Amino acid sequence: MPLVRPDYKAPRWLAGAQIQTIFAAKVCKKPHVVYRRERWETPDNDFTDVDWATPETADPAAPIVVHFHGLEGSSRSHYALALMHETVTRGWRGCVPIFRSCSGELNRSIKTYHAGDIDQVQWVLETVRSRYPQAPIYTVGVSLGGNQVALFCGKRAQTAKKLLTAAVAVGAPMDLVAGSNLLRFGFNRLYSKMFLDTLIPKVLKKCELLPEMRQLVDEEAIKKCTNFYDFDSLYTAPVHGFKSAMDYWTKASAKPWLKYVEVPLLLLNAKNDPFQPEWALPTLSDVSDNVWLDQPEEGGHIGFPTGNPPGRIDYLPKRIFRFFLQRQ
C-alpha cells in the first residue's frame, strides 16, 4: 500500500491546472489509432458500441486493456488515443466500451450511464473474459470511468480480483459531492457548461423519442440547467434509481470502498486537478494494502502534458504500463 513518490513534472511553459488540462485535450498532438467497432447487445435490451485497437499480428493470448472513458468522452478522447496507441505498440490489445449515447448514436433506453454504474463495468469485463479466457485483463478508468473502476474494485472486490490482473484509475473524482461542488465555481463553470452543452440535447432528444422519458423529466427545467446539481437532480438521479443528486453522488462515490480493494489498483490524481479538491483525495488510511496512491503536485485533469511546444500526451500511458508490467 505505498504512497508512490510522484515522478511527473509539468513543463515550465505549461503552468497551472487549467492550462495543463486544456492543452492536453485540445493542443497537444494526438496519436493515430485504427479502431474496429463492434456493437454488443446488453442484457437490458440496449446496446454498447465497443472499439477495439489491436496489433496486426496480435498473439491470441496477448493481454487486453479495457478502457472506461470519462464523461461525454469516447475512444477518440485524447487520453483514450494515447492509451490505445501505447497498448498496440506494446503488442497488447485495447478495448474501449463506449458509454451509451457517446458513440454517435442515442441508445434505446431512457438510461445512459453514470459514475456508479458498476453493473455495466462488470458485464463488459465478463464479456471480454468469456471471449478471451486465456488473456490477462487489465482495466483503466479515466475521470468518471475512473470512479467506476475504483468503485467496482472496492464494492465487488472478489469479482474484480477474479476478472482482473490489475487496474488503474486516473483523475477519478472519488468524492463526487466534493467534485461536483467544485465545478460550480470560477473557471470550472466552463467545464460544466462544456459537458451540459452535449448532455442536455441528448436528454431532450430522448424526450422526443421515448414517452416514458417525458414522464420522468421536466424538459423546460432541463433546458435551464447550468450546473451538475440541477442536471443530476432532474435527470441522472430519477432515471437511474436515485432519490436525489446528493443520494446519487454519495452512493456512487468510490472513496468509501477503497479499503476493500483486493486487486492491485493504482490511483493517479494530480493535486491541482480542477475536478477534485486536494483535501478530498484518498489517503493511506482510506485504502487497502492493494492500492497505490500517486498524487503529483501538477497535471491538471487528465492532462499530464510533457515536452516542448505543442507538448506530448505520452506520460499517462507510459505511467500506466509501468504499473501493469510490475504486476505481471
pLDDT tens per residue, range 178-230: 999 999 989 999 999 999 999 999 999 999 999 999 999 999 999 999 999 99
pLDDT at res. 19: 95
DSSP 26: I
33-37: average pLDDT:
98
Cell numbers 437511474 correspond to what residue? Answer: 240
d(CA 32, CA 64): 19
**pLDDT tier for residue 45 given thresholds of 50, 70 and 90:** very high
Average pLDDT, the chain: 96
User: What is the Cα 216 distance to its own chain's centre?
Assistant: 27
Is there a catalytic annotation at residue 114?
no
pLDDT at res. 114: 98
- Are the CB atoms for 98 and 236 separated by under 8 Å? no
Residue of 103, 109, 143, 180 with catalytic role: 143
Boundaries of every domain in the chain: 3-175+253-327, 176-252
255 SS3 class: helix
d(CA 20, CA 298): 8
**Among 214, 322, 225, 231, which Cα is nearest to 268's?**
322
Regarding pTM above 0.85, the answer is yes
DSSP 29: P
pLDDT at res. 57: 77
Contacts for 284 with CB less than 8 Å, ≥ 6 apart: 1, 3, 293
110-123: average pLDDT:
98
pLDDT at res. 54: 95
| Per-residue pLDDT tens digits for 143-169 | 999 999 999 999 999 999 999 999 999
DSSP per-residue string spanning 44-100: TS-EEEEEEE--TT--TT--EEEEE--TT--TTSHHHHHHHHHHHHTT-EEEEEPPT
Residue of 49, 117, 175, 273 with catalytic role: 273
Is there a catalytic annotation at residue 273?
yes
C-alpha grid cell for residue 223?
433546458
d(CA 324, CA 165): 8
Is pLDDT at 234 greater than 90 in this prediction?
yes
d(CA 162, CA 133): 12
pLDDT at res. 56: 82
d(CA 209, CA 25): 33
Q: How far is residue 278 from each of residues 116, 174, 181, 231, 311, measured CA to CA in Å?
A: 21, 11, 13, 25, 25
Residue of 67, 78, 114, 301 with catalytic role: 301
CATH of domain 3-175+253-327: 3.40.50.1820
- Are the CB atoms for 1 and 292 separated by under 8 Å? yes
CB burial of 17-41 (b: ≥16 within 10 Å; e: otherwise) equals bbbbbbbbbebbebbebebeeeeee
